[in-house]
């Protein structure tokens, strides 16, 4: 049996403990973070196989390469290959969506230009587009909006004036927030050196380790 234990400094004050072991073809990955403790997807051990950088403690490059070498031929290999294929498909879909959005914008510009010619307006097209996005009622006040994220445990976020309320295990915690736009905010945690971005329109949570879809 082969086994490597290490730690990852996550968003909590104390680092998380991870143990990855290989016994024959049985590859086992254990993390004591809230998600790992619930037996669901844990980004702290998955990052080793994905090649993503994290704040590892007690884990060097040679150990990372050794852990990666355990995956081929293990009982997790097939599921991992399927996951990587799905992620690739997701990336392709995102590219297609981006291309469609670009096409819609181009169509919008064409329509606006025709409207300008018809109404004999002689102002830059970009200025007219900017004006269309500043019409009263076009922007939305998201104060009071909520989003619920599941990381193996459930956390609810509520947007308040100049701050964000985090509800976890029946307790409320308040953090200062920096506005990016009317629906996107950077949440600042004293014990978190990273950056957490909450989008109350698209219902997404993004930190240094990736992006999660919420409801």
Residue 114 vs residue 4, higher pLDDT: 4
Same domain for 60 and 15? yes
Q: What is the span of the domain harbouring residue 16?
A: 2-75
Q: What is the mean pLDDT of residues 60-83?
A: 90
pLDDT recorded at residue 38: 80
pTM for the structure as a whole: 0.44
Is residue 137 scored above 50 in pLDDT?
A: no
> What is the pLDDT at residue 203?
92
- The reply to whether 53 and 25 lie within a common domain is yes
The domain total for the chain is 3
Given the structure tokens 């997404």, which residue do they identify? Answer: 204
Max CA distance (Å), the chain: 79
The string of pLDDT tens digits covering residues 17-67 is 999 999 999 999 989 888 888 877 788 888 888 888 888 899 999 999 999
Residues 15 and 71 in one domain: yes
For residue 159 the two structure tokens come to 């947007």
pLDDT at 131 over 90: no
Q: Is residue 118 over pLDDT 90?
A: no
The chain-wide mean pLDDT, for the chain, equals 82
Q: Which of 75, 100, 115 is the last residue of a domain?
A: 75
Are 101 and 164 in the same domain? no
Residue 139 lies in a domain: no
Q: Residues 2-19, buried b or exposed e (16+ Cβ, 10 A)?
A: eebebbbbbbeeebbbbe
Helices (H) and strands (E) in the chain, counts: 5, 12
How large is the average pLDDT for residues 64-92?
88
Which pLDDT does position 23 carry in this prediction?
Answer: 93
DSSP 52-87: ----EES--HHHHHHHHHHSTTSTTHHHHHHHHHHH
pLDDT value of position 108: 74
Residue 200 lies in a domain: yes
Is residue 17 in some structural domain?
yes
87, part of any domain: no
**Tens-digit pLDDT profile for residues 173-198:** 888 888 888 888 888 876 555 678 89
pLDDT at site 25: 93
Cβ atoms of residues 11 and 207 within 8 Å: yes
64 and 102 share one domain:
no
Check whether residue 13 and residue 53 sit in a common domain: yes
pLDDT for residue 209: 73
pLDDT of 141 over the 50 cut: yes
| Residue range 145-169, pLDDT digits in tens | 999 998 878 999 999 988 899 998 8
Does residue 141 form part of some domain? no
């Amino acid at each position: 049996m082969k086994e490597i234990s290490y730690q990852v400094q996550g968003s909590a004050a104390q680092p998380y403990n991870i143990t990855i072991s290989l016994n024959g073809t049985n590859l086992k990955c254990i993390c004591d973070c809230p998600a790992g403790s619930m037996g669901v997807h844990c980004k702290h051990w998955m990052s080793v196989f994905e090649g993503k950088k994290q704040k590892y403690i007690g884990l060097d490059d040679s150990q990372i390469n050794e852990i990666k070498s355990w995956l081929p031929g293990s009982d997790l290999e097939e599921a991992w290959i399927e996951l990587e294929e799905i992620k690739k498909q997701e990336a392709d879909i995102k590219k297609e969506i981006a291309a469609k959005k670009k096409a819609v914008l181009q169509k919008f510009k064409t329509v606006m230009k025709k409207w300008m010619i018809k109404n004999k307006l002689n102002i830059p097209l970009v200025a007219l587009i900017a004006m269309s996005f500043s019409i009263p009622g076009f922007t939305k006040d998201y104060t009071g909006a909520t989003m619920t994220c599941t990381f193996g445990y459930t956390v609810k976020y509520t947007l308040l004036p100049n701050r964000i309320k985090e509800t976890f295990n029946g307790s409320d915690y308040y953090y200062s927030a920096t506005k990016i736009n009317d629906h996107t905010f950077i949440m600042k945690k004293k014990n978190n050196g990273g950056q957490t971005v909450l989008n109350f329109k698209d219902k997404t949570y993004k930190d240094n380790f990736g992006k999660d879809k919420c409801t």
